[in-house]
Amino acid sequence: MVDRKDMGSWLQGPRARTRADEEYRGRDLGLPRSGPGSIAGFGIRLVGVLIDWAIASLIARGLFGVPLPFSQPPASGTQGFVVLGVFAVMHLLLVGTVGFTIGHRIMGLQVRSLGGTGRVLPLQAVVRTVLLCLFIPAVVWDRDGRGLHDKVPGTVIVRLR
């Protein structure tokens, strides 16, 4: 259950240094402070998503003739949705089967379930993909650095190296 006090984001603004600062992201989840298995930072996750978006753009260009971003003005507003659809299918298939997208793999990241074996279940992959494609849940995160797209399905992105 997502609770208001669990959420934090850039909306909260700066905060005073407290004892809570001595804690680290992932501590409450039983994850290490750093290294393999620790929660991945925002920057490395962003690079992974940008890599995935570039790959989705190339696939959309090859399969549907959608122009690459910034190469020419879009002919219609639906072309962005084609790329988003390719991104969603790519994300759903890869995270739902192997636990990472191509961008995640390049950046040394993996999506894990917090319950059971750590393997992402199909329903978790569907919920996570839908929320990620809505964008807003991905930029609202909790004190562990997990976006709503990870918090709702019970997943976390961790470092592999």
- Can you say whether the dihedral through the CA atoms of 101, 130, 119, 42 is positive or negative? positive
Q: What is the mean pLDDT of residues 64-92?
A: 81
Residue 65 has pLDDT above 60, yes or no: yes
Does residue 106 lie within any of the structural domains? yes
Q: Domain limits at 116?
A: 25-30+39-159
Contact 111, 99 (CB under 8 A): yes
Does residue 13 lie within any of the structural domains? no
Residue 1 has pLDDT above 80, yes or no: no
Type of residue found at 123? L
Return the SS3 of 146. coil
CA distance 62 to 40: 32
pLDDT on residue 101: 97
Q: pLDDT tens digits for 80-130?
A: 799 999 999 999 999 999 999 999 999 999 999 997 788 999 999 999 999
Q: How many residues does the chain have?
A: 161
Does residue 62 lie within any of the structural domains? yes
pLDDT on residue 145: 84
Q: pLDDT tens digits for 5-26?
A: 555 554 555 555 555 556 888 8
CA distance 20 to 82: 43
DSSP 141: E
Type of residue found at 38? S
Residue 139 has pLDDT above 70, yes or no: yes
Say how many domains are in the chain.
1
Does residue 15 lie within any of the structural domains? no
Does residue 10 lie within any of the structural domains? no
pLDDT on residue 98: 95
- pTM comes to 0.80
Does residue 17 lie within any of the structural domains? no
Contact 8, 141 (CB under 8 A): yes
Return the SS3 of 56. helix
Does residue 4 lie within any of the structural domains? no
